[in-house]
Amino acid sequence: MDTDLAALLAVQVEDVAIHGVEAKLAELEPRIRDLDTRRQKALDAVERAAAGVAAEEKKQAYVREKIAEHKQLIERNQAQMDAVKTMKQATAAVAQMEQAKRIVATEESDLLAINRRLEEARGVLHGLQNELAAIEAEQETARGEVASQRATLDGELAVLREQRNAAAAKVPAALLARYDRIRGKRRVEAVFAMSGMSCGNCDTAIPMQRRHVMSATGAVELCEACGVLMYFPG
């Protein structure tokens, strides 16, 4: 066999092996995606629940602040009661205080409702956090497996790529460029031995004259039907 052709076929051996490892790496992707999707769902639920808790806490702080303000107002009104001179002033001050007390009563009942909702929301959040933790614990083994498989494949790929580079260095640049161009079109293999009188890839018959030249010169030729490189075996 022609040495250039032998060198090219050695490159192809590495490329086919690289393709196989890349396909295995690609197979890991859906597994990782499944794990991620499940975790993300749980994480989203936790985040939504946490946002709900934060909103209730904000309301709680606001209402508490208002209650404190209005209680201070009542105290001030009470202090002012001592200073009133007339019945009219006293009636007005009492009315003002009563109103403030009603407001505080409403706010306190609001606060109770908020507290109840907050307790519920915290309970839900806690449950979801537990679920997330359970999913993460459950996924630890699976993720470890995927990571170690990926590391192994990455290691294999690095070795194969080095071998490929070394093999490619032995192929004439023009022939390698031709091969790379053909392989670039999503082909796993670009060079095929002829099968009898036909292209080894697409089985299109090659004219006798051309076949004769290929067998005599060892030339690597393009199959016009399917676009791969062909060589005469043996």
Q: Which residues bind Zn ion (CB under 5 A)?
A: 199, 201-202, 223, 225-226
Residue 28 vs 226, nearer CB to Zn ion:
226
Q: How near is the Cβ of 200 to Zn ion at its closest, in Å?
A: 8
Q: How near is the Cβ of 186 to Zn ion at its closest, in Å?
A: 16
Q: How near is the Cβ of 18 to Zn ion at its closest, in Å?
A: 23
Residue 20 vs 227, nearer CB to Zn ion:
227
CA angle 99, 102, 108 (to 5 degrees): 145
Q: How near is the Cβ of 227 to Zn ion at its closest, in Å?
A: 7
Residue 43 vs 225, nearer CB to Zn ion:
225
Residue tagged 């076929």 (tokens)? 9
Contacts made by residues 203-210, CB under 8 angstroms, sequence distance 24+ = 206/230
Residue 114 vs 223, nearer CB to Zn ion:
223
Q: How near is the Cβ of 199 to Zn ion at its closest, in Å?
A: 3
Residue 97 vs 192, nearer CB to Zn ion:
192
